[in-house]
Amino acid sequence: MSPLTYFISAIVILTIVSWLQADARRPPPATSPDGSVELRHGTRYLILAVACLLVGPAIMMAPVLVATGWTSYDIVAFVVLALAFASFGIWMVLDARKTRVVLSSEGVRASTPFGGERFLKWSDIQTVGYNLFGPWLVLKGSGLAPIRVHRRLVGSGFFLQRLRAQVRPDAFRGLARLFLPLSKDAA
């Protein structure tokens, strides 16, 4: 591939990520009467998910339908890639529609399509990690299933504020420490 292809790919990826991040910077929807706040994926994530589901397989199958001279191995490879894109798109659509993170005075409740329902009290959170490739924060308590909170959820900035207020700073490990405010000593 030429350097121009890499450059264009990088620009497209950065544009999509910043487009998604605009949703994450929005404040969460209104607080419920009991004081809890629900975080969900925004419309932009759903649009990207549907595009992956519909456009991805179409792009992979277009060369097979248009060009001639393909061997059966080539066609199988393109079909497998199209199915991979479709599977990833289905997962993203399910994630966009079903993922919920509820912040309450008691703790964090997360519901995901494949992880089910999980709950951690604020006092049970022993470590907060960050998966750069996710990108999500990982909340862990001893003997309890971890909760992953995606950084592209609408209101994730509010979640970080609440997390910093409720969890002691030494619980933030590795890259998650970057989400702590700078102390006066560091300035």
CA dist 171 and 182 (Å) reads: 15
User: 135: closest CA among 116, 120, 153?
Assistant: 153
Q: Number of C-alpha atoms within 13 angstroms, CB side, residue 54?
A: 7
- Omega before residue 135 within 30° of 0, cis: yes
In the chain, the amino acid numbered 37 is: V
Cα 146–chain centre separation? 15
Range 121-134 average pLDDT: 91
CA dist 18 and 11 (Å) reads: 11
Cα 184–chain centre separation? 32
Q: How many CB atoms lie within 10 A of CB 43?
A: 10
Residues 135-160 have pLDDT tens digits of 899 999 988 899 999 988 998 888 98
Q: Are 165 and 179 in contact (CB under 8 A)?
A: no
Q: What's the whole-model pTM score?
A: 0.79
Close Cβ partners of 116 (under 8 Å, ≥ 6 residues apart): none
Structure tokens belonging to residue 135: 């990108």
Sign, Cα dihedral of 164, 166, 170, 173: negative
Residues 11-59 have pLDDT tens digits of 988 998 888 888 878 888 777 888 889 999 989 999 989 988 888 788 7
Q: Are 23 and 39 in contact (CB under 8 A)?
A: no
pLDDT over threshold 50, residue 187: no
What pLDDT, on a 0 to 100 scale, did the predictor assign at position 182? 62
CA dist 123 and 149 (Å) reads: 17
